[in-house]
């Protein structure tokens, strides 16, 4: 890939045939007197006075200068050719990936995996150099001889660092068909946004169409944000389907964290090798929060997305009642009942008593839990109130509640009225008269039991035993979560927690301690990122004073370290899956320890 001398200073540069044209620039063949050939990107005359277009033109040269990779179109710099400035590029003889898809899609699995692996390798090189593409799409990928993918057109790229970026770098840019859900928030865009675009491209190579469509550009963007992730056809292998689904995860924290990991997986798939998949879940796997539908970390007593409390059933002497809305004896609203059933399903320590809630609509108040501690009960009451239900915590049995006694009394009255009506006309029967008190007592007892019976029961749990350091780290997460308002920061912390807990059963006590330190370091980083983003939002992100630059630089450092830590956990999981016979991998532990120490060093400061 090396060129003799600086191509921009080559003698006798002259323009040749037009190779392609876009909205802003035309690409032409450029020939040098010594026989070398290049491609040259020249702004349209209509954009000659467009300062934003000219700035992107210069930025591409600045960002890519010096980056040389087999999977990136080389950018040599700006040259003066026939009196006009143009961006001098490596000439790639071959179609764009968009043209290849239009002609040949759907592509076979081995071929699309090989092409995508090249794109991932190019992204890994760009990301390592501190560059995010931000407009990755088939039209910006060239296919050279031998099906070698080469990423082109970094005109919308920006540095991964926010410190010192121009205002245009923080605008919403991209092509809707390939824009990650977080693209509307420029602060949230990072290397994982490029990986999302790669997932869209993989889907298009496999099906001939992008994963999401809409009547308007905004409709497409909304589909990326809210529509269910489409799956690849069953004709593709399970590992490829899982990888694409993971790349298309709505939250960046739920995607693979590094392009190099994606490239390695794609190369294995292309070669037809057995793939040791260790991917984050693309959607909800396991219990989901009844309040927001996001996946729960069952070891925590709170949803990491919306903060809804999760029942932690500890033994005690209290009772939790669902007391409304409504008057005693009113039936519970069906929508609230469905929400309550969903919340119970999301609590691994609870299950619905058959028939008491799913098939019958209960009358309020009714008993939800009995014999729980006061702390457990308060948490459950708070969760029920956030679901729109009214709840009451009673010390002792259900009949200590005035509303429950009122309901029970009404049921007893109705039951006795039925008994009296049934016995009318037989009061001259001495046996009936003798048994009447017993019938009344039985009816009253049955009515009371019906009034107070609970609709759930506790379920035995056999979770993996967590070492004390992990339990302490999770307690720290619960303490910090209420102060973290930004969803992406909550998701980032959730990613570290879920990955660490998934690895905990595979590790010995020493590994669990390392994982606990990873959670603790991530918790501190998340809290600091939240505070920094709040400070930046309160001021002007573009201010050029020392204080503003210091805030942006610190934010960059924390964000990069947290991303590296999450990627290290992914790499650890790959090693564990690939070597199932071993409990842990010392090399992976060393890498994880290094990332934790790097975060702790940032926390200590200079």
Smallest CA-to-CA distance from 205 within 304, 130, 99 is with: 99
Residue of 69, 70, 135, 177 marked catalytic: 135
User: Prior bond to 365 cis, omega within 30?
Assistant: yes
Take residue 256 and report the two structure tokens written for it.
């693979």
What is the rounded radius of gyration, in angstroms, for the C-alpha atoms of the chain?
31
Take residue 303 and report the two structure tokens written for it.
């949803």
Smallest CA-to-CA distance from 329 within 417, 389, 407, 402 is with: 407
CB neighbour class for 49 (10 Å; exposed up to 12, middle 13-18, buried from 19) = exposed
- With beta carbons less than 8 A apart as the criterion, state whether 563 and 522 touch: no
Residues 6+ apart with CB under 8 A from 363: 328, 329, 330, 331, 332, 407
Is 135 designated active site?
Answer: yes
DSSP string, 157-187: -EES--TT--GGGGS--S-GGG--GGGGSGG
DSSP-based three-state secondary structure for 556? helix
For residue 364, give the DSSP letter. S
**Per-residue CA distances from 364 to 324, 339, 400 (Å):** 6, 15, 15
**Per-residue CA distances from 421 to 281, 302, 415, 418, 442 (Å):** 61, 51, 10, 5, 16
* Residue positions annotated with a catalytic role: 135
């Amino acid at each position: 890939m090396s060129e003799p001398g600086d191509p921009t200073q080559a003698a006798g540069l002259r323009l040749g045939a037009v190779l392609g044209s876009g909205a802003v620039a035309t690409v032409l063949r450029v020939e040098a007197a010594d026989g070398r050939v290049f491609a040259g990107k020249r702004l349209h005359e209509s954009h000659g006075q467009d300062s934003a277009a000219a700035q992107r033109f210069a930025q591409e040269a600045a960002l890519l200068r010096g980056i040389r990779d087999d999977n990136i179109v080389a950018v040599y710099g700006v040259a003066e050719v026939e009196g006009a400035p143009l961006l001098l590029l490596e000439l790639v003889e071959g179609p764009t990936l968009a043209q290849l898809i239009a002609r040949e899609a759907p592509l076979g699995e081995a071929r699309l995996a090989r092409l995508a692996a090249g794109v991932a390798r190019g992204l890994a090189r760009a990301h390592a150099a501190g560059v995010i593409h931000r407009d990755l799409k088939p039209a910006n990928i060239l296919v050279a001889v031998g099906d070698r993918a080469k990423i082109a057109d970094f005109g919308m790229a920006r540095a991964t660092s926010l410190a010192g970026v121009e205002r245009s770098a923080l605008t919403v840019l991209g092509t809707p068909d390939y824009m990650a859900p977080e693209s509307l928030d420029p602060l949230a865009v990072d290397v994982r946004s490029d990986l999302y675009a790669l997932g869209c491209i993989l889907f298009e190579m496999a099906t001939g169409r992008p994963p999401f469509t809409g009547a308007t550009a905004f409709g497409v963007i909304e589909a990326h944000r809210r529509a269910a992730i489409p799956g690849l056809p069953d004709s593709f292998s399970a590992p490829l389907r899982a990888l694409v689904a993971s790349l298309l995860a709505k939250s960046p924290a739920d995607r693979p964290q590094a392009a190099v990991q994606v490239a390695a997986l794609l190369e294995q798939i292309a070669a037809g090798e057995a793939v040791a998949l260790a991917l984050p879940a693309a959607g909800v796997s396991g219990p989901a929060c009844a309040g927001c539908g996001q996946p729960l970390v069952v070891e925590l007593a709170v949803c990491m997305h919306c903060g809804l409390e999760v029942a932690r059933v500890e033994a005690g002497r209290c009772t939790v009642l669902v007391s409304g809305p409504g008057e005693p004896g009113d039936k519970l609203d069906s929508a609230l009942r469905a929400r309550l059933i969903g919340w119970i399903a999301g609590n691994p320590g609870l299950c619905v008593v058959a028939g008491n809630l799913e098939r019958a609509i209960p009358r309020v108040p009714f008993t939800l839990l009995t014999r729980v501690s006061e702390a457990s009960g308060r948490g459950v009451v708070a969760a029920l109130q956030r679901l729109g239900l009214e709840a009451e915590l009673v010390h002792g049995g259900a009949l200590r509640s005035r509303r429950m006694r009122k309901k029970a009394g009404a049921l007893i009255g109705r039951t006795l009225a039925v008994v009296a009506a049934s016995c009318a006309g037989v009061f001259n029967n001495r046996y009936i008269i003798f048994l009447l008190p017993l019938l009344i007592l039985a009816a009253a007892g049955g009515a009371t039991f019906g009034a107070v019976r609970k609709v759930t029961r506790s379920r035995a749990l056999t979770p993996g035993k967590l070492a004390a350091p992990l339990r302490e780290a999770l307690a720290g997460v619960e303490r910090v979560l209420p102060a973290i308002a930004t969803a992406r920061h909550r998701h980032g912390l959730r990613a570290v927690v879920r990955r660490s807990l998934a690895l905990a059963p595979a590790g010995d006590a020493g590994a669990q301690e390392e994982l606990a330190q990873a959670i603790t370091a991530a918790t501190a980083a998340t809290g600091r990122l939240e505070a920094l983003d709040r400070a930046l939002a309160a001021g002007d992100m573009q201010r050029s004073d020392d204080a503003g630059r210091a805030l942006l630089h610190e934010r960059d450092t924390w964000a990069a370290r947290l991303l590296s830590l999450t990627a290290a956990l992914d790499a650890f999981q790959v090693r564990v899956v690939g070597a199932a016979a071993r409990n842990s991998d010392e090399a992976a532990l060393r890498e994880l320890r290094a990332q934790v120490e790097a975060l702790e060093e940032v926390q200590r400061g200079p």
